[in-house]
Structure 1
């Protein structure tokens, strides 16, 4: 792409799928905050702090470490929300032009939206798992969590790449 052509700023309304993903992601996030606050005084001093690839606890730490999940989740949500606002700043192939910019922007923005909310949901699930184990509740995720978490992030990326390849 030549440096003389500036990417257009295009106002694209948020799609129903973006609203859906945001409602799901932020609902999970807010629900996890309520869940953590509700269970905070019941938690023992040591809680699961790290898991191996099989989903087994391989390090225990202070319950204060559980606050990492909502803090990092909030940081990711804010950062990725900003990226969603400015799709013209994303990375695109050289075939991006004024005619196809809106289509590229929308695919890229939807991808960022999905990844933001998948990250929020993933952090929430790890938090719930850690609290559940600490309180002696049944271990729910185990060996399947890591492959599912990885797939849930890579599937939208692969689909986004396929959709972008179809743009002329």
Structure 2
């Protein structure tokens, strides 16, 4: 995957976001690997609107959230390395706005990557905590706030892109 588009230098904040997302991904996998042996054979798979488990099954499902996180991390990482002129934008790209538009699109990808890692880390922690006997550890308000955050981030970047068209 060759980036033949304009080379806009990474901001220090982008590097920090990227490293924090990677840290969360690694921490999530380490946490699962450390806790897997101690998990009961049956763990919660699904929670109702009150945050109570309503579906149980084999403990191997605990690898699903970190697996999705890994796939998502790699997807966002490699897309952010692609040429920004291959992305879709909510505004017409001109010589005057392209550097700004390219930069914020790349930043949005990195922020979404980090937010997804936070979401998956929370789900992983909550399932393990609930399986370990910490009842009420899965808070549906936290989950819905994290999911809503995905839409808020997207909307925020769309507004920013349109404001500086």
Question: TM-score scaled by structure 2?
Answer: 0.89
**8 Å Cα contact 1:49/1:57 also seen in 2:** yes
TM-aligned CA distance change 1:167 to 1:25, over 3 Å? same
**8 Å Cα contact 2:91/2:161 also seen in 1:** no
2:27 to 11, 24, 31: 31
Consecutive unaligned residues of structure 2, counting only runs of 5 or more, are none
Query: How far has the Cα of 1:139 moved from its partner?
Result: 3.0
Q: Which residue of 2 aligns with 1:57?
A: 53
Is 1:47 matched with 2:43? yes
Q: Which residue of 1 aligns with 2:112?
A: 115
Is 1:128 matched with 2:115? no
Provide the rounded CA distance (Å) in 2 between the counterparts of 1:146 and 1:15. Answer: 30
Provide the rounded CA distance (Å) in 2 between the counterparts of 1:21 and 1:130. Answer: 26
Residue-pair matches, total: 161
Q: Which residue of 2 aligns with 1:66?
A: 62
Provide the rounded CA distance (Å) in 1 between the counterparts of 2:24 and 2:34. Answer: 15
Question: TM-score scaled by structure 1?
Answer: 0.87
Write the deviation string for residues 101-147 of structure 1: whole angstroms up to 9, x where unpaired. Answer: 11111111111111111111111110110001111125334231232
Q: Which residue of 1 aligns with 2:76?
A: 80
Consecutive unaligned residues of structure 1, counting only runs of 5 or more, are 1-7
Query: How far has the Cα of 1:94 moved from its partner?
Result: 5.0
Write the deviation string for residues 70-117 of structure 1: whole angstroms up to 9, x where unpaired. Answer: 211111111111111122221113521122111111111111111111
Query: How far has the Cα of 1:17 moved from its partner?
Result: 2.1
